[in-house]
Amino acid sequence: MKRKSLFALSAVVVVAAAALVPVLWSGGDNLHNGSAMAATPADQAALIKKGEYLARAGDCIACHTVRGGKQFAGGLPMLTPFGTMFTPNITPDDQYGIGKWTQDDFYRAMHTGRSKDGSLLYPGFPFTSYTKVTRADSDAIYAYLRSVTPVNVPSRPHELKFPFNQRNMLIGWRTLFFREGEYKADPTKSVEWNRGAYLIEGLGHCGMCHTSINAMGGPVSSAAFAGGLIPLQNWYAPSLTSNKEAGLGDWETKDIADLLKTGVSNRGAVFGPMAEVVHNSLQYMSDEDINAMATYLKTIPQKSEAPEPLQLETSEKFGGELLKQGQKIYADNCAKCHAENGLGMPPNFPPLANNQSIQMPSAVNPIRMVLNGGYPPSTDGNPHPYGMPPFAQALSNTEVAAVVTYIRMSWGNHGTAVSPQQVSDLRSAPLD
């Protein structure tokens, strides 16, 4: 769902990932105004507390705080094929932050994707999802951001190539892919379901990673939640609409909720960009909201076939050789934790047998895990997660391909063989 954003800079393809996380707005404008206070200090304190919670739900901190930097001061670089974008300072500093924006200015950015001066915001800021956020929730987030410590640091201007630095070119993209409007509850569904839909489709903007992007950089409406590659992070956001991938139709609601809240469940664990989302955002959400999200996700219509991402193929003969070689590598390096029969020791060591994420068409994620290792997020519900060690230095491209081939094709798994060339491509790719 965490969500890293894709930049569609005009009516031509312009894509960049921010890994399941939002950019509150993507503009270098200085923000002007004064804020309307609540009726009493107690009311204002309650509004700020609510806003902090909602900002967590939107994972604002992930994009607007550089690792080791000051909170919400911006400056996070996002590399794209068309140049580099930098997230802005959204602290209440009058000179460089949001100190002079009004509630109306803030809501306009959230709801319409336009800055204070009316200029168009790049959809790296997920206004296509945030437009569904209510005015009351927008005002609460605004109140919270006004309460944090001001940081007197200018936002770095984007370094985009011509013509992608021309904001007016976004008009065509918006005409095709942006529909303004707050979330409207479905009267045929429960209050819990509607709350989950509001969070998933609005602040959570989960579809930005889990929905395929077309040649113009816009979401494929017929493929909502059907999975997609997060290009610049080199991870695959699996389909939520197919049980062959991460489809949730046969999951228990509790398992979905556990995965969202703690990063681990009896059905698996999250790694990569989704681990960041859980760590920064989802673990702080109430049990009621987590259960509402799980309830909604459980009802996403399931399709019989998963999307078919581009996958390098091997010959049947070479695939058989990799499978045989991978069995020994697995026994020497993996069986201690994941067991010889692939059943693992959940939740600390997830099963590989009958694991949807292992055998789905895209082999990107298991290759990344073998190469780079990783941990589920550290959360209150799982404060000391067990991790996966990296094998990039210990195993060659062919050996990594072999062991991933073995786990994708053993114990009844129905994956396909992995090409050493794909391993090589991912080995040389940036980690995030």
The stretches in the chain having pLDDT less than 70 are: 1-39, 80-82, 212-223, 226-237, 242-249, 302-313, 429-432
What are the domain boundaries of the chain? Answer: 1-217, 316-427
Distance of CA 278 to the CA centre of its chain: 10
Tell me how far apart the alpha carbons of residues 89 and 86 are, in angstroms, rounded to a whole number: 10
**Tokens 């945030």 sit on residue:** 130
| DSSP code for 151 | -
Residue 269, strand partner residues: 264
pLDDT for residue 214: 58
What is the reported pTM?
0.71
The answer to whether 5 touches 22, Cβ cutoff 8 Å, is: yes
Whole-angstrom Cα distance, residue 37 to residue 34? Answer: 9
Q: Which residues pair with 83 in a beta bridge?
A: 80, 160
Q: Please spell the DSSP secondary structure of 13-65, one letter per residue.
A: ------TT---S----PPP----PPPSSHHHHHHHHHHHHHHHHHTTHHHHHB
| CATH class, 316-427 region | mainly alpha
Coil vs helix vs strand at 159? strand
Q: Tell me the torsion sign for CA atoms 150, 153, 159, 162.
A: positive
Q: What pLDDT was estimated at residue 226? A: 61
pLDDT given at position 222: 56
Provide the CA 242 distance to its chain's centre, in angstroms: 18
Nearest to 354, CA basis, from 370, 342, 345, 364:
342
Query: What pLDDT, on the 0 to 100 scale, is given for residue 217?
Result: 58
Handedness of CA 99, 38, 108, 187 (dihedral sign): positive
pLDDT of 92 reads 96
Q: How far is CA 46 from CA 42, 52, 101, 143, 317, in A?
A: 6, 10, 21, 10, 65
Burial class (CB in 10 A: 0-12, 13-18, 19+), 241: buried
Spatial strand order of the sheet with 159-160 comes to 77-80, 83-86, 159-160
User: What is the pLDDT at residue 218?
Assistant: 59
**What is the distance between the alpha carbons of residues 17 and 78, in angstroms, rounded to a whole number?**
8
Model confidence pLDDT, tens digit, residues 414-423: 889 998 888 8
Residue 262: name the closest of 273, 250, 244, 274 by CA: 274
The DSSP element (H or E) to which 144 belongs, if any, is helix 135-147
348: which 2 tokens? 């600390």
Q: What's the length of the chain?
A: 432
SS3 letters for 273-342? Answer: HHHHHHHHCHHHCCHHHHHHHHHHHHCCCCCCCCCCCCCCCCCHHHHHHHHHHHHHHHHHHCHHHHCCCC
Which amino acid would we find at residue 4? K
| pLDDT of the residue at 346 | 83
